[in-house]
């Protein structure tokens, strides 16, 4: 199904809506590392990812994500050649102040903290953000009523990505998360893989995905901020 929000963003919002914008240098981080940290820092349970595009390698620019909030604001995260840029678009009467007052300071702090962590922990944090992105991808497929095959593989990717991260698997509640993801994989597997995700299952899966996302976001933030 067509991603109408993304079409609206490309056709109208990115050119006509008011916005606030910040840029952050990569310094000791690769473009992919800072992009992932920015994705997580901008993200929340209230956010929906409507586009994710990754550069071919970690050291290259070109990664992009567009997030949409339930307050009808859009955030565009872009890994440029020499810096990372975050642009927050908002409707008339609203503001994008939090990008400057909350998001940017938090991102700066996380960039600094991340650079000081050992390589194993860095890898684990990035893998957990991958799980976060896969959950978002799955949510977007479900909301768009995309085909069941895409939903099935997105859930599978999230589950398998999480299974190889010690911090994730050792965290309290991890077994319940894996159980829920496994249950939904089994359920979606019974659907016709080339048909749209069924209306009657949307609310149940979205509820579970939001619960899991909240848990994952908290786990990542805890490890990023300490």
pLDDT (tens digit, 0 to 9) for every residue of the chain, 226 residues total? 568 999 999 999 999 999 999 999 999 999 999 999 999 999 999 999 999 999 999 999 999 999 999 999 999 999 999 999 999 999 999 999 999 999 999 999 999 999 999 999 999 999 999 999 999 999 999 999 999 999 999 999 999 999 999 999 999 999 999 999 999 999 999 999 999 999 999 999 999 999 999 999 999 999 999 8
First to last CA, the chain: 41
Residue 177 · residue 215 · CB < 8 Å: yes
pLDDT at 132: 97
From the options 3.40.50.970, 3.40.640.10, 3.30.160.110, 3.90.1150.10, give the CATH code of 4-116: 3.30.160.110
pLDDT at 226: 87
DSSP 8-state assignment for residue 65: E
pTM of this prediction? 0.96
pLDDT at 2: 66
pLDDT at 3: 87
Helices within the chain (DSSP H only): 4-8, 14-16, 31-42, 97-98, 104-116, 119-143, 148-163, 166-170, 174-189, 199-225
Q: Which CATH code for domain 121-225?
A: 1.20.120
pLDDT at 1: 56
Domain boundary assignment for the chain: 4-116, 121-225
Residue 34 · residue 26 · CB < 8 Å: yes
pLDDT at 104: 98
Bridge partners of residue 51, in order along the sequence: 66
Residue 92 CA to residue 13 CA, distance in Å, equals 11
Residue 195 CA to residue 202 CA, distance in Å, equals 14
Residue 41 CA to residue 35 CA, distance in Å, equals 10
């Amino acid at each position: 199904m067509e991603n109408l929000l993304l079409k609206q963003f490309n056709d109208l919002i990115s050119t006509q809506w008011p916005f606030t914008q910040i840029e952050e240098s990569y310094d000791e981080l690769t473009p992919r590392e800072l992009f992932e940290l920015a994705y997580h820092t901008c993200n929340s349970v209230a956010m929906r990812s409507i586009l994710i595009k990754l550069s071919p390698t970690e050291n290259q620019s070109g990664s992009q994500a567009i997030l949409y909030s339930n307050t009808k604001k859009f955030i565009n995260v872009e890994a440029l050649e020499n810096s990372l840029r975050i642009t927050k678009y908002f409707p008339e009467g609203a503001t994008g102040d939090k990008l400057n007052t909350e998001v940017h300071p938090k991102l700066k702090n996380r960039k600094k903290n991340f650079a000081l962590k050992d390589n194993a922990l860095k890898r684990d944090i990035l893998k957990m953000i991958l799980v976060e992105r896969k959950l978002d991808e799955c949510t977007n497929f479900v909301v768009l009523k995309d085909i069941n095959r895409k939903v099935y593989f997105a859930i599978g990717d999230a589950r398998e990505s999480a299974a190889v991260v010690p911090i994730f698997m050792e965290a309290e509640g991890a077994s319940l998360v894996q159980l829920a993801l496994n249950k939904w994989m089994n359920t979606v597997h019974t659907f016709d893989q080339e048909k749209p995700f069924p209306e009657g299952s949307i609310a149940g899966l979205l509820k579970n995905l939001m619960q899991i996302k909240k848990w994952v976001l908290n786990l990542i933030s805890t490890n990023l901020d300490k």
